[in-house]
Amino acid sequence: LPADKAALYLEALHGWEEVAARFPDSRTDIEEMNKCLALSRYPAAVFHSVNAIEVGLVSLGAFLGVSDPKSGWTAVSGKLEQFVVKTKFADLAPAYQNSFPFLEQVHGTVVALKNAWRNKISHTQGRLVLMTSDFMPDVTDEIVVASRSFMRRLATEMP
């Protein structure tokens, strides 16, 4: 492997330390995402990045009071929409009022990520299946960077 790819493989949590500390359940997917990226397995890297994000979303769902037993992309994006779009600010609980700028920005990001990446992965009989293998190296790099940025924000700014 070239040196930059070897570093991704051997130090798979580099740059993700804050995320792994706040969301330990995301660790395996972060490591696998970077190892797949190092080995040019781009669809697999995207798959693991989406799984890592879902760990953060489940935690966000707990803060939001999501009661869906299958908390994740759909339940959290729905709850965010309820708070940010469908509820008057004055009717929100103080914890959500205090976090409103964060929730508003995260809502926009979650919707975009869900439409762009998550919807390319399907739950088929209890397991995740990648619906497309159409991820080029540059696109995959951008997805990984965006995933890290989003997860770092959750790790450092989520109450």
pTM, rounded to two decimals: 0.85
Check residues 145 and 114 and name the one with the higher pLDDT: 145
pLDDT at 30 over 90: yes
pLDDT at residue 133 in the model: 57
Element at 123 (helix H, strand E): strand 121-124
Mean of all residue pLDDT scores within the chain? 88
pLDDT band at 130 (very low <50, low <70, confident <90, very high): low
Mean pLDDT of 123-138: 59
Mean pLDDT of 129-153: 81
- In the chain, the DSSP E strands lie at 121-124, 127-130
Mean pLDDT of 5-34: 97
pLDDT at 121 over 50: yes
pLDDT at 132 over 60: no
Mean pLDDT of 33-42: 95
Phi, psi values for residue 122, rounded to 5°? -115, 145
pLDDT at 123 over 60: no
Question: What tokens does 79 get?
Answer: 């709850």
pLDDT at residue 56 in the model: 95
pLDDT at 125 over 50: no
CA pair distance 54, 71, nearest whole angstrom: 9
What percent of the chain is predicted at pLDDT more than 90?
Answer: 65
pLDDT at residue 122 in the model: 46
